[in-house]
A and B are shown apart, each in its own frame.
Chain A
């Protein structure tokens, strides 16, 4: 994997993102937004089980994981993703604020949290620094 000294420059090989969220509307918007910001959205999943399967197959660099999932929750999925052979960097997201989850985000394997309405390629890159 390439390393970047400045995250604001668009890398030659765009980072691969997997979006895991049960709202199709959000997945669609996130895809357009992140691709507009120079990232490559390699896949989408609507629940934790298919998200884990997609991560295993697609080996994304980043997994954008909604904290509320129909079959599990984002913290649980984060642990499972971290145990993969090639674990993606997990960024948790929610339409709620991080403070509502107490210290669960810090205590998880996730790289960070971004509120849904503040999602952008830069926001993800900032969290990966």
Chain B
């Protein structure tokens, strides 16, 4: 046996002894107060044993889940608090001191159910207040409680330090009021959680949350009755509370069994549906139904990139440690295939989630490959868009450098020559030379301007597509009619692509089409810009053969758009680019 098992056996033995002692003491005392020793004698050890036993079972089943530990702790503290019925002052005061502890631990257990951790500040605050009241305030109160002087005939208090505790005792005296508020807070939180739960979550939560909520509500009533002085029904409330408390461990076991039966049936149905031929299944929907979590999502593992992606191929993170959602990783042949992201209440049914995952793992492997493919396509598209963007940036830089550098120097040189011409007198030979140099320089300037414009039209970045297209139309050697020029600005990549489609198409019209007239249309459609250049020329253009049109098609498809060329011989050519553009 391992050390862990020895520990569990020791806890079981200790639990047995603690329950037995409680039983023995209850039977051996003659207490005239409270609901009576008979009830305590029977129910006391039963509650202790039930919690300790069920806690041990939960501990074996889920060693990492704190629920088991908390149940064991409720059991032991319950046994300790039951000593309050003892005649012997030492045992009595031990019970008196620990009377609130099992409830503080119970609140912790209920709020942390089913995965064993607290998830909100509110939950943590309530649990902390519960422990503070049960330990600190109760200890303070005990030090100044003269139990021997009570009219109920209680044993003396060996821990008594005085009858006047001053402010400290006054503060501790508010423990019942605080207890009422605390219990109401816990009931409210449990109700909120129960209401928010659907499907399998609710199935898993209901038995424990409802019985626990009842116990807490009954405790609130019991304390409120004490505070308000209505003591007539306190005994009945206490009996009812202890009876429901004793049911909590069995509610836990029953809920577990029920979830397993219902869950297994869900998985069976899932397997049966997957077995049907000829119909593709939506694995996510099937899993959501089988596990009773409508919000369930699937993530797929990409081994090369070592990350999870959603069905659309976008990278996704597994839920954070303390969120309401949690993930179960499904493996196939020892490799992660997918992660089922589900409500944290399903954590307690890990076997069920794994069984459902195993049932769909083959189908999941297919979907994983789909998601991998989509992720790859997405990555390629993104990198292509990045290349286009960086090419655009490089072109703009180059144009700017030409403008600021060579162009400025040539302008200065041209102006200097002009000045020189003014100072020359006579000598016709020199004047001719100078005129020729000035003409060369002007030509060089013009060519440089055209080169810069071909690299990147500055007017496009400065004044937008409409102005740039006007410029193109004005410079074209044949009449160009421009319609639907945009008044708004599109994203830079879209404007550049649209501009080059028109520029390249008009160049082709001038070179090859023998056209008399061309038409440029820019239309804004939802989510895209449609650029169309048509002419009345000879037609017969082929997107596959001409490198210009091929380059345009590449440029447009890098933005996820596409290019159509409609060119029947004798009936002109229409180039149409659809460029995606969010609104």
| CB proximity to B under 8 Å, residues A59-94 | 68, 73
- The answer to whether A26 touches B422, judged by C-beta atoms less than 8 angstroms apart, is no
Shortest C-beta distance, A33 to chain B (Å), equals 5
Specify which of A95, A97, A99 is in contact with B403 (CB 8 Å cutoff). Answer: A95
Check A104 for interface membership: any CB of B closer than 8 A.
yes
Q: Which residue of A is nearest B462, CB measured? A: A73
**A29 CB within 8 Å of chain B:** yes
With beta carbons under 8 angstroms apart, the residue of A101, A116, A120 that contacts B459 is A101
Chain A positions 109-124 with a Cβ under 8 Å from a chain B Cβ: 116-117, 119-120
> Counting CB contacts under 8 A, is A30 at the interface?
yes
Contact of A33 with B411 in the complex, beta carbons under 8 Å: no
Q: How far is the CA of A119 from the CA of B408 in the complex (A)?
A: 13
Q: Is the CB of B415 within 8 A of A33?
A: yes
Residues of B within 8 A of A (CB-CB), count: 28
Q: Shortest CB–CB separation between residue A77 and chain B, in angstroms?
A: 15
A23 within 8 A of B: yes
Q: What's the Cα separation between A25 and B458 when bound, in Å? A: 22
Q: Total A-B pairs in contact (CB under 8 Å)?
A: 61
Pair A25/B459 contact, Cβ less than 8 Å: no
- In the bound assembly, the distance between CA atoms of A33 and B459 in angstroms comes to 29
- CB 8 Å contact bits of A14-30 with B (1 = contact, 0 = none): 00000000010110111
Which residue from chain A places its CB closest to the CB of B417 in the assembled complex? A117
A99 to B468, CA, bound (A): 10
Given known A-B contacts A95-B408, A102-B463, A117 and B442 have beta carbons under 8 A apart: yes
| Residue A32 is within 8 A (CB to CB) of chain B in the complex | yes
State the main secondary structure of chain B at its contact with A: helix
Q: Does A11 contact B (CB under 8 A)?
A: no
Find A25's partner among B403, B412, B453, B462 (CB 8 Å cutoff). B412
Within the complex, the shortest CB–CB distance from B384 to chain A, in Å, comes to 31
Cβ-defined contact, A117 with B410, below 8 A: yes
Please, how many angstroms separate the alpha-carbon atoms of A23 and B412 in the complex?
10
Q: Is the CB of A95 within 8 A of B407?
A: yes
Minimal beta-carbon separation of A41 from chain B (angstroms): 14
B414 within 8 A of A: yes
Given contacts A95-B449, A100-B458, A100-B471, are A30 and B463 in contact (CB under 8 A)? no
B503 interface residue, CB < 8 Å from A? no
Indicate if B409 sits at the interface (CB-CB under 8 A).
yes
On whether the beta carbons of A29 and B449 are closer than 8 Å, the reply is no
The answer to whether B408 and A23 touch across the interface, beta carbons within 8 angstroms, is yes
A-side interface residues toward B, CB under 8 Å?
Answer: 23, 25-26, 28-30, 32-33, 36-37, 68, 73, 95-97, 99-102, 104, 116-117, 119-120
10 contacts between A and B (CB under 8 A): A23-B404, A33-B415, A36-B422, A100-B458, A101-B459, A104-B463, A116-B415, A117-B410, A117-B411, A117-B415
